[in-house]
Amino acid sequence: MLQNARHRNNVEIVAPKARFQCLLARTRCALVRAEVHGNSLFRRPLWSDRQAIMKLNPFVTSSRRKNRKRHFNAPSHIRRKIMSSPLSKELRQKYNVRSMPIRKDDEVQVVRGHYKGQQIGKVVQVYRKKYVIYIERVQREKANGTTVHVGIHPSKVVITRLKLDKDRKKILERKAKSRQDGKEKGKYKEETIEKMQE
What are the tens digits of pLDDT across the range 83-139? 999 999 999 999 999 999 999 999 999 999 999 988 899 999 999 999 999 999 999
Least confident of 47-61, 71-85, 159-173: 47-61
The average pLDDT across 145-161 equals: 96
Q: Tell me the β-bridge partners of 149.
A: 139
pLDDT at 190: 75
Residue 33: band (very low, low, confident or very high) from pLDDT cuts 50, 70, 90? low
Provide the CA 10 distance to its chain's centre, in angstroms: 65
The count of other CB atoms within 10 Å of the CB of residue 162 is 21
Q: Tell me the β-bridge partners of 99.
A: 86
The count of other CB atoms within 10 Å of the CB of residue 134 is 19
pLDDT at 180: 84
User: Mean pLDDT score of the chain, rounded to an integer?
Assistant: 84
Residue-wise pLDDT for 176-195, tens only, equals 999 888 777 776 777 777 77
pLDDT at 197: 77
Residue 51: band (very low, low, confident or very high) from pLDDT cuts 50, 70, 90? low
